[in-house]
Amino acid sequence: MLAIKADYKDGKITFIDQMPVQIRKAKLTIVVEPVNDPEKLTIPAQQFMVMEKDSESEYKLIGLNSFFDTEDDKNVNWEEYFGLK
């Protein structure tokens, strides 16, 4: 992964840092940092923290929270059941 600075103005992106010549093709993730904006959008640091995930937390994130703590879920270690631990 490589971070390269760029400017955006009037619908155009201009690189400030030079792209290494070895990179012929890349997927880009753009983080927008508004310039001179008094109500600047901030990105919570938690979004950039690497957090260890387990299947239960991922199920909760996709809306299956109601499944947990039910009779079907009790006393089952799902990671162990599916051979993940």
pLDDT tens, position by position, 14-31 = 988 888 889 889 888 888
Half-sphere exposure of 2 (CA within 13 A, CB side): 13
The confidence band for 44, taking pLDDT boundaries of 50, 70 and 90, is: low
The confidence band for 60, taking pLDDT boundaries of 50, 70 and 90, is: low
Please report the pLDDT score of residue 34 as a whole number: 75
Please report the pLDDT score of residue 72 as a whole number: 72
Please report the pLDDT score of residue 81 as a whole number: 80
DSSP 21-63: TT-SS---------SS-TT-----GGGGS-----HHHHHHHTT
pTM over 0.75: no
Q: Which two tokens stand for residue 59?
A: 């199920």
